[in-house]
Amino acid sequence: MWYAIHCYHWHYARGATTIDDPTLDGQKFISPIVFVDGHAGLFDFSPSLKDPAGYNLEPTKDWYWYEPKQ
């Protein structure tokens, strides 16, 4: 197993809620997020969490989690 953490389905779960390997899970990882600038949204994190290369913190068109050190 390439993944060293557990993933959990909290919102809209339709099956098992504790997942050891998200690449084998058929459910979507959907979560509401409120950002510090005040906007909010409902996002599907499935593509990021199911990426076998493990690039789940990379920026997407909807968010980024960190700013690179200059």
Place of tokens 């290369």: 53
**DSSP string of the chain, one letter each residue:** ----S-EE--BS--S-SEES-GGG--S--EEEEE-TTS-EEEEE-HHHHT-TT--TTS--SS--S-----
Per-residue pLDDT of the chain (70 residues; tens, 9 = 90+): 454 567 777 777 777 777 777 777 888 888 888 888 888 988 888 887 777 676 667 777 777 777 778 8
CA dist 62 and 46 (Å) reads 14
